[in-house]
C-alpha cells in the first residue's frame, strides 16, 4: 500500500517511514497547501483540512497538526503555535514566561487519516519550558522544551531520541498500529 503524507516538511516524512515500513506501507510526501481554520482544538483544524483535501485527492492520505500548550499561559500558543513561532518566536515565549514559576507545558499532535472516512490519532508529551534556549537540533520550540524525565531539551537530543518520546512519534505509532490491524 502507498500512503501520502500531506506536508511540506520532508523530516516528518522520514520520521513516519520508520513506523510504516515494518508493516509494508510506503509513505510518500505530497505537498498540497490546505486551509488551516481558526478553531479551539487541533482536532477541528486537522479534520477540516482532511475533509477539504478529501475532495481533491485520490487515494489514502494523512496529515498532522501539532502545537505547544503552556499551562501558565492557559494553553497558549496551542492551536496558534505556527503563527506564534513565526511572529514572536521562541524569544517572545521566553519573555512571556519571565518570572513565571509554573513552567509546565505539553506538545500535542493530531494525525488525521482519510480512507473514505476520517480517523484521528493523538499523541502527547509532557515537560517544561526552560528559562533559556538550549541546543541546536530539531525545529520550532525544541530549544525551550524539556520533556519530563530528561535533563535535556528536544534540541539537545538526536532526532531518533526525540522521535521515540515525541507527541508526533506517539501519534504516528498509534496510527501505524491501528493501520496494521485494519489492513488485515
Q: Which residues bind ligand IMP (CB under 6 A)?
A: 64-68, 81-82, 85, 107, 138-142, 154, 166, 168
Q: Could you tell me the three cell numbers for 169?
A: 512519534
Return the SS3 of 147: strand
In the residue annotation, 65 being an active-site residue is answered as yes
Nearer to ligand IMP, 151 or 181 (CB): 151
Q: For residues 50 and 68, is the Cβ–Cβ distance under 8 A?
A: no
Tell me which of 65, 102, 115, 151 is the catalytic residue. Answer: 65
**Among 63, 129, 56, 64, CA closest to 91:** 129
Number of H helices, E strands in the chain: 6, 6
Which residue number places its CB atom closest to ligand IMP? 140
Nearer to ligand IMP, 8 or 183 (CB): 8
In whole angstroms, the minimum distance from the beta carbon of 140 to ligand IMP comes to 2
In whole angstroms, the minimum distance from the beta carbon of 51 to ligand IMP comes to 17
In whole angstroms, the minimum distance from the beta carbon of 89 to ligand IMP comes to 9
In whole angstroms, the minimum distance from the beta carbon of 113 to ligand IMP comes to 15
Nearer to ligand IMP, 75 or 180 (CB): 75
Distant-in-sequence, close-in-space partners of 166: CB < 8 Å, separation ≥ 6: 107, 109, 123, 125, 154
**Among 32, 27, 23, CA closest to 13:** 27
Nearer to ligand IMP, 64 or 116 (CB): 64
Instruction: Give the Cα separation of 105 and 86 in Å (integer).
Output: 19
Catalytic machinery residues: 65
Amino acid at each position: 500500500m502507498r500512503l501520502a503524507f500531506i506536508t511540506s516538511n520532508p523530516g516528518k516524512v522520514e520520521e513516519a517511514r520508520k513506523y510504516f515500513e515494518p508493516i509494508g506501507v510506503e509513505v510518500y510526501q505530497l505537498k498540497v497547501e490546505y486551509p488551516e481554520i481558526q478553531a479551539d482544538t487541533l482536532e477541528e483544524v486537522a479534520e477540516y483540512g482532511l475533509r477539504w483535501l478529501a475532495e481533491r485527492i485520490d487515494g489514502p492520505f494523512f496529515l498532522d497538526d501539532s502545537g505547544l500548550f503552556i499551562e501558565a499561559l492557559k494553553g497558549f500558543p496551542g492551536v496558534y503555535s505556527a503563527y506564534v513561532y513565526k511572529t514572536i518566536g521562541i524569544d517572545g515565549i521566553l519573555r512571556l514566561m519571565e518570572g513565571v514559576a509554573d513552567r509546565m507545558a505539553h506538545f500535542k499532535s493530531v494525525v488525521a487519516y482519510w480512507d473514505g472516512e476520517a480517523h484521528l490519532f493523538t499523541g502527547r508529551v509532557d515537560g517544561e519550558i526552560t528559562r533559556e534556549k538550549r541546543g541546536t537540533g530539531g525545529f520550532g520550540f525544541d530549544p525551550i522544551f524539556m520533556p519530563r524525565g530528561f535533563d535535556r531539551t528536544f534540541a539537545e537530543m538526536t532526532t531518533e531520541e526525540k522521535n521515540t518520546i515525541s507527541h508526533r512519534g506517539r501519534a504516528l505509532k498509534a496510527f501505524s498500529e491501528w493501520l496494521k490491524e485494519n489492513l488485515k
